[in-house]
Chain A
Amino acid sequence: MSDKLKDIISKQGEQQEQESVVGQLDDVVQLVGFMIGDEEYAVPILSIQEIIKPFSWTRVPQVPSYVMGVFNLRGAVIPLIDLRAKFGLQTKKQSEDTRFIVMRHGDDVAGFVIDRLTMAIRIKKENIGPAPDTVSGDDTIIDGVGKQADKIITILKVNKLLERDF
C-alpha cells in the first residue's frame, strides 16, 4: 500500500471521528461542494440525485445561452444548465474535472455543469449565516453562507436553480 493511500485513509479516519462528534448533534447540514470559476458553492446532499461524467447532449433552440440543451439520463430527457454561464462567467472548455450534477427538487430534475467537485461537507447550522443583505430576499438563489475554518462556501437554493427563469 502506497504511503499516499495510507495518508488518505488516516485523514479520512480523522475526519470521520470529527464528523461523528459533529454528527451527534442534530443540527448538522450535509452539503456537496463544487467549484465554479474561483468560487466554491454547495448544495444539500439530499437534493443531488447523482453526479456523472460529462457526455453528449443535444442543443435546444430558443433558450438562454446557459441552457446547453438536454441529455439522456437512462431514458429520461433532462435539461442541462451551464452554471458558469448562468453566473455570468466566461464559458470554458470541459476538462477532466468537469462533472454534471443532477439535482432534484420535487418533480423537477436538471443537470448542472460544474468545473470541479470539492468534497462532501458536514457543517453545523450555527455556522451558516444568512445571505448578504444585498442579495437576500425571495428571488436570490443563495440560501446562505457556510463558514468553515479557512474559507466560506456559498450555499445555493436547489429549488431556485431548478426554477425556469426565462
Chain B
Amino acid sequence: MDEFQEILQDFLVESFELVEKLDEDLVELESNPEDLELLNGIFRVAHTVKGASSFLNFDVLTHLTHHMEDVLNRARHGELVITPDIMDVILESVDLMKQLLEQIRDTSSDGGIDVSACVARLDKITGGSGEVETPVVAAPEEKSTEETAVEEESAAADDEDEIDYENMSPEEVEAEIERLLAQRQEEDRKKREAKIAAGEEVPQMPNPDAEESKEEKKEAPKETSAPAPTPAPAKQVKKEAPKAAAPARKTPAQVEQTIRVDVKRLDHLMNLIGELVLAKNRLIKINDDVEERYEGEEFLEELNQVVSIVSLVTTDLQIAVMKTRMLPIGKVFNKFPRMIRDLSRELNKKIELVISGEDTELDKSIVEEIGDPLVHIIRNSCDHGIESPEERALKGKPEMGTIALKAYNEGNQIVIQIDDDGKGLDPDMLKSKSLEKGIITEKEADTMSDKDAFALIFKPGFSTAAQVTNVSGRGVGMDVVKTNIEKLNGMIDIDSEVGKGTTIKLKIPLTLAIIQALLVGVQEEHYAIPLASVLETVRISKDEIYTVEGKSVMRLRDDVLSLVHIGDIFEVERILDASEHAYVVVLGLGTSKLGLIVDTLVGQEEIVIKSLGDYLKGIEGIAGATIRGDGGVTLIVDVVALMDIAKNVKVTSMTETQEGVASKEKTQASDYVVMIVDDSKTDRTIMRKALEPMGVTLVEAGDGQEALGILKSGDYNFDAMLIDIEMPRMDGYTLASEIKKYNRYKNLPLIAVTSRTSKSDRMRGVESGMVEYITKPYSADYLASVVQRNVNFKAEFL
C-alpha cells in the first residue's frame, strides 16, 4: 500500500505540474492553431495523465482524458481545426481534469464528479454520437493495466498510428500487447547495449515478465512527458525534430539539478538563520562595547576581523536561504491568460494580456498570498477598465484592449505593475460617488488631490460599477485587495489618466521574516517600525506643533501632517522629562501619511519578526516582536493598525507639563540625596567625611552595576552622584553613559572623582556625560563646594 501511495504522490505532483502548463499552452494554441509543437505538447499531457491514471485505476479520469486525447490527436494530425467552441470544450475538460486530480489528492479516489456531459461533447467533436458510457465501477484491473501498457508503448514509440483499442477483441489486444512488448524489449536491449558500450554499468534485467512491464509503465509517463526519444514519424520529422530536441536536452538536466524539499525544513532553516542574525547583531554590539573600553589594544583588530567575517557570512547565508524559498512569480501569473480569455468572452470585450518579468522571484509565502489580490485587480481592469470594442473604436483606440502585467525588482522590493489602456479613473466621478456614499465629506472632496481621489477605490463600501456584475463584484471591493497587500507589508500605488488607462503598482517586500526597521525610543521603551513604511524623519521643536480641531498637526514643507504621539498609542507612562525637541517619523502607506512623534531615534537595524504567540495575539498596533542584540525584546509597530488607531487619538499630551518627579521642594538639608560610587571603602569613607557636615543624605555603591541597580529601583531621588572611574564590573565611564540613557536622569549631575589625570581621561569623562572632574587627592572643602554647586544647595541650610 505504501508503494501505491508513493506512486500516487508522484502522479499527483507530476499531473498538477503538467496541468498548470496545459492552461497556458491551450490559450496560446487558440491564437496559434497551426503550432504543431504546441499541440503535440498538449496531447502528451493528456496522454500522460491518462496513462498514469489508468494504471492507478482512476477510471473516471482515464475516461475523460481518453476523450480529450482523441480530440487533440485529431487536431494534431490536421483532421480537426481548433475553433473557439472546441477550445471551450477542451478547456472545460481541463477544468474537470483539475477537479478530478484535486479529488484524488483529497480522497484518493476519483468518484463523485460527473464528467459524462463533457465527455459527450468531446465525443461529438471527434465525430462520435455523443453517447458514451461513463465508467462507474472499476474496470477489471488486468485489462486496464494492460491497456496502459499498450498506450505507453504507443506513446513511447511515436511512430505508431493511434489504434482504436476500444474496438479490439480481447485476443487482438493480447496480440497487440505481445507485439508492442517485444518491440519495447528490443529497444531496451539496444539501449542497454549502447550503455554497456559506453562503459556504464547496467544491472542485468530479468527476463521479461509481468514485473517488468509494470516497471515500464511507471517509467513510461515520465518518458512521454519529455519528447519521445525515438525518431518522430517521417511526416512530422522536418518540423518537430529540431524543436523537440532542445527541450529534450534541457529536461534531464533540470531533473538532476533540483531536489524537492519539504517546506517545513526550509521554514526551520529560516528560523535558525533568524536566530543567527540575532546573535550576529548581539556580537556587533558587544564588539562596539569592547572597542570603546579597550581602545587601541592590539587584539581589537583581530576581534574586529572575526566579527566582520561572521556578519558578512551571516548576511550571505541569510540571502542564500531566502533564495531557496523564492519562487518565480510566473507561478501566479500563469493562471491569468486563461482568466483573461474567459473574461473577455464573457464580457464580449477583446482583451490581450501581456506578461513580462515572470521570472522575478518572491518568497513562497508571499507568492501564495499575492494571487487573490491580483485576480481581483485584473478582473477589475477587465470589467471597469477596458471598454467594449465598439466604444474603443469610437474613441479611436484599437479594438483589442491591452492589460500589461509586469513584475520587477526595485531595491528591497518587488513591484508588480498592472497597466490597462482602458477608460481610466475620473477623479471627479470618484469624488462625487464617494460623497454620495458618505465615504468622504464635501470639504475633503474639495481639498483632495487626484491621487487621493484614485485611492478612494480602496475605501470600504466603494464600487465604481453601476451594477455589480458577475465578474468583478461579489460585494467585496478593492478594499480587500488593499488589506491583503498591507498584510504583506506591501503598498499600493495607483495612477490614472482619463481615456488613457490606469496603472496600479503593488510594492511588496522580498521576504516576510526578516525586515529592515527603524528603532525609536519613547521614555524608556523602544519600538521597531518597518522601514518600508517610513518616508522620512524630521526633528522639530515643540512650538512647531499646532492643534487643529483637537488634533495635533505640523507643517511639513507645503503639506499639513497630522501627528500622533507614540506614547498615546501604546499607553506609555510619562515618568520622564520630555525634552524641548522631538522627532517625527513620517509614515506613509499608499497615499495616506501620518507623523509619529517619538522621543529618540535609535537607528536602523535588521530585525527578525517573531510572533507574540496565541496568548497575546491581536494586540492592536503591534505586529510582533523581535529580539535585539542585547537580548531584550522589542515590539514591532503594525503601521496599518497604527494609522487606524491614530484617527481616534485626540490631541497629544506631549505638551502636558510633567510634575513632581525630581523637582520636589527641598525643605531641609537631608532632602538632598547624593550617591557615592567607589570600589574602595577608604575612598568612600573619605568622601562621606567630606560631605557629612552638609547634612545631606548619602548612599554608597561599590561599583557601577550596583549603582545602576540602586538608581533603577527608584528608592531615592538623587540630586548628584560622585563616581570613581576605575571600578570592577562596570567602570565610571560606562556607568555614566548608561545613566544618561535614561531620560529621567539626563540632568542628574555626575561628578567624576578619580586619580586619572590625563587630558584624554577628562575628555572621555565629558563624552560620557560627567559635569565635573575632581582629581584625587582633593580637599574636603573643595569636594563639598563642588557638590553644593551642582545640587543647587540652598544657602539657608549651611
Contact = CB atoms under 8 A, between A and B. Distances in A.
A110 B633 CA distance: 15
Interface stretch (A13-21, A26-34, A59-67): A59-67
Interface string A53-88: 000111111110001011110011111000000000
B616 A67 contact: yes
Given A60-B616, A61-B621, A63-B616, A77 B525 contact: no
B275 interface: yes
A57 B275 CA distance: 19
B715 to A, nearest CB: 9
A141 interface: no
A76 B271 CA distance: 11
Contact of A61 (B570, B613, B634): B570
* 5 closest Cβ pairs, A-B complex: A61-B570, A58-B633, A77-B625, A79-B615, A77-B610
Given A62-B571, A77-B610, A164 B632 contact: no
A72 B631 contact: yes
B619 A72 contact: no
B627 interface: yes
Nearest to B275: A75
B405 interface: no
Contacts, number: 67
Contacts of A60: 612, 616, 619, 622, 635
Chain B contact-residue range equals 20 to 34
B611 interface: yes
A109 interface: yes
A162 interface: yes
A150 B165 CA distance: 90
A50 interface: no
Given A61-B622, A77-B633, A108 B614 contact: yes
A126 interface: no
Nearest to B571: A61
A139 interface: no
A62 B642 CA distance: 13
Interface of A: 56-63, 67, 69-72, 75-79, 93, 107-110, 162, 164
A79 B612 contact: yes
Contact of A75 (B278, B569, B570, B612): B278
Interface of B: 275, 278, 525, 569-572, 610-616, 619-622, 625, 627, 631-635, 713
Given A70-B616, A78-B613, 12 more contacts: A58-B525, A60-B619, A61-B570, A62-B571, A62-B619, A71-B633, A72-B632, A72-B633, A79-B613, A79-B616, A108-B615, A162-B615
Contacts of B571: 61-62
A42 to B, nearest CB: 22
Nearest to A62: B619
30 contacts: A56-B632, A58-B632, A58-B633, A58-B634, A58-B635, A60-B612, A60-B622, A61-B570, A61-B619, A61-B622, A62-B620, A62-B621, A63-B616, A63-B619, A69-B633, A70-B612, A70-B616, A70-B633, A71-B633, A72-B627, A72-B633, A75-B278, A75-B627, A77-B612, A77-B627, A79-B613, A79-B615, A93-B713, A109-B613, A164-B616
A163 to B, nearest CB: 8
A109 B275 CA distance: 19
A105 to B, nearest CB: 11
Contacts of B614: 107-108, 164
Nearest to A81: B615
A83 to B, nearest CB: 14
A164 B278 contact: no
Contacts of B613: 77-79, 108-109
Nearest to B645: A62
Nearest to A69: B633
Contacts of B569: 61
B314 to A, nearest CB: 15
Contacts of B275: 75
A55 to B, nearest CB: 9
Contacts of B634: 58
Contacts of B525: 58-59
A70 to B, nearest CB: 5
Nearest to A70: B633
